[in-house]
């Protein structure tokens, strides 16, 4: 007999978790996150999960509290004799600390991986890690979902002419190249230099953008400074319009001000992180269907390969040329 499936949500991911559970076709499990006056909290499962396949949904934005809450949820599930514990992290906090790029610094993303495994996680499902190699920090399976499954249909319905994709920095080139390949479009790179975190010293555009409809692609929009500066520079170089598509709307500091005052036509984001404010320039696309499929396939031991851009690209090429292989 297969174990039952239970889906639970952390505090800040309730809106997305509710959508995922609805798409999956099961109610969210009952959990009480008890909070104490000194800042501590204690998750309590309000129903039995003994022998169950447990999925815990929590993005680690405002990472300190949400991460600690998630670790305690994992520990509680393990001590309650859950059969398997799958951590669903739509946004993986500390992913930008993926290497030792200066002396005497921590590798935060590796530490988070160690903590999740030590707490008792059996599997991780996440989306658009800032550095894909973070998957290698885990000694348990990691399903790394791709937001292109959300963004590609949106781009197609825009029906833009002279479409060109732009990477807001060199680190985004692989992600942007894959989407540009899907649309058989050109790509350009906005090469930036930083003096310190969240502060850009200079930026140049590599490639021709004159008379092009530009779409910037990135995984994280933090302060919005990079996107605003890149959009301004692209328009100065002759672009007809500039949009930005970013998976995770961290949107800290003056992000809303930077986006609203920029030349961007729109910023399209996913609901991996709930928005703090509304903005006429920000449009939200839901990842609920994608995660619901991933959860079902993980539960039923089925592949999730068809959720990735390389599978979509392969299918598109096969449709265009039935005799072509791969």
pLDDT digits (tens, 9 = 90+) for 245-296: 999 999 999 999 999 999 999 999 999 999 999 999 999 999 999 999 999 9
Give yes or no for residue 315 having a pLDDT over 80.
no
φ/ψ (deg, to 5) at 286: -90, 140
pLDDT digits (tens, 9 = 90+) for 22-53: 999 999 999 999 999 998 989 999 999 999 99
Q: What is the CATH number of the domain that holds 98?
A: 3.40.50.2020
Residues 24 and 120 in one domain: yes
Give yes or no for residue 326 having a pLDDT over 50.
no
Q: 219 in a domain, yes or no?
A: yes
Q: 118 in a domain, yes or no?
A: yes
Contact 74, 85 (CB under 8 A): yes
Q: 320 in a domain, yes or no?
A: no
Residues 48 and 114 in one domain: yes
Q: 50 in a domain, yes or no?
A: yes
Give yes or no for residue 237 having a pLDDT over 90.
yes
Residue from 9, 108, 91, 96 nearest 55 by CA: 9
> How many domains is the chain built from?
2
* pLDDT top residue among 267 and 99: 267
Residue from 5, 163, 167 nearest 77 by CA: 5
pLDDT digits (tens, 9 = 90+) for 122-143: 999 999 999 889 999 999 999 9
State residue 37's pLDDT score.
92
Mean pLDDT of 315-320: 57
Residue-number span of the structural domain to which 103 is assigned? 5-146+288-303
The answer to whether the pTM exceeds 0.85 is yes
pLDDT band at 220 (very low <50, low <70, confident <90, very high): very high
Contact 36, 44 (CB under 8 A): no
Residues 180 and 229 in one domain: yes
Residues 115 and 203 in one domain: no
pLDDT digits (tens, 9 = 90+) for 52-91: 999 999 999 887 899 999 999 999 999 999 999 999 999 9
Which residues neighbour 71 within 8 Å (Cβ) at sequence distance 6 or greater? 115, 116, 119
Tokens (6 digits) for 219: 């995984």
Residues 117 and 194 in one domain: no
Mind telling me the catalytic residues? 192
Residues 246 and 215 in one domain: yes
Residues 221 and 161 in one domain: yes
Q: 130 in a domain, yes or no?
A: yes
Residues 127 and 170 in one domain: no
Helices marked H in the chain: 14-24, 63-79, 108-119, 148-158, 173-182, 225-236, 255-260, 288-299, 309-320
Residues 141 and 197 in one domain: no
Residues 296 and 186 in one domain: no
Give yes or no for residue 195 having a pLDDT over 70.
no
Mean pLDDT of the chain: 90
Q: 12 in a domain, yes or no?
A: yes
Residues 75 and 30 in one domain: yes
Q: 241 in a domain, yes or no?
A: yes
Q: 261 in a domain, yes or no?
A: yes
Mean pLDDT of 189-217: 79
Residues 139 and 192 in one domain: no
Contact 227, 259 (CB under 8 A): yes
Contact 28, 295 (CB under 8 A): no
């Amino acid at each position: 007999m297969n174990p039952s499936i239970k889906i639970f949500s952390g505090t800040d991911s309730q809106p997305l978790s509710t959508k995922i559970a609805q798409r999956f076709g099961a109610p969210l499990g009952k959990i009480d996150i008890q909070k104490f006056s000194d800042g501590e909290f204690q998750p309590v499962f309000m129903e039995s999960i003994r022998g169950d396949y447990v999925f815990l949904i929590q993005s680690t934005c405002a990472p300190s509290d949400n991460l600690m809450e998630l670790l305690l949820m994992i520990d509680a599930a393990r001590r309650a004799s859950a059969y398997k514990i799958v951590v669903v992290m739509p946004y993986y906090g500390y992913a930008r600390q993926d290497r030792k790029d200066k002396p005497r610094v921590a590798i935060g993303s590796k530490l988070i991986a160690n903590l999740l495994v030590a707490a008792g996680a059996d599997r991780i499902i996440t989306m658009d890690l800032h550095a894909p190699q973070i998957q290698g920090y885990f000694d348990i399976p990691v399903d790394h979902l791709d937001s292109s499954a959300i963004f590609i249909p949106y781009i197609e319905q825009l029906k833009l002419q002279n479409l060109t994709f732009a990477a807001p920095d060199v680190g985004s080139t692989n992600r942007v190249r894959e989407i540009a390949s899907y649309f058989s479009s050109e790509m350009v790179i906005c090469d930036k230099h930083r003096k310190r975190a969240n502060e850009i010293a200079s930026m140049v555009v590599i490639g021709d953008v004159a008379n092009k409809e530009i779409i910037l692609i990135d995984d994280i929009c933090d302060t919005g400074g990079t996107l605003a500066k890149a959009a301004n520079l692209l328009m100065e170089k002759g672009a007809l319009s500039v949009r930005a598509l970013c998976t995770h709307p961290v949107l800290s500091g003056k992000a809303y001000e930077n986006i609203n005052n920029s030349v961007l036509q729109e910023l399209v984001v996913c609901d991996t992180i709930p928005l703090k404010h509304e903005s006429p320039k920000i449009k939200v696309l839901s990842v609920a269907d994608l995660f619901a499929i991933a959860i079902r396939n993980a539960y039923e031991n089925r592949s999730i390969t068809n959720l990735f851009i390389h599978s979509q690209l392969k299918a598109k090429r096969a449709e265009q040329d039935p005799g072509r292989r791969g």
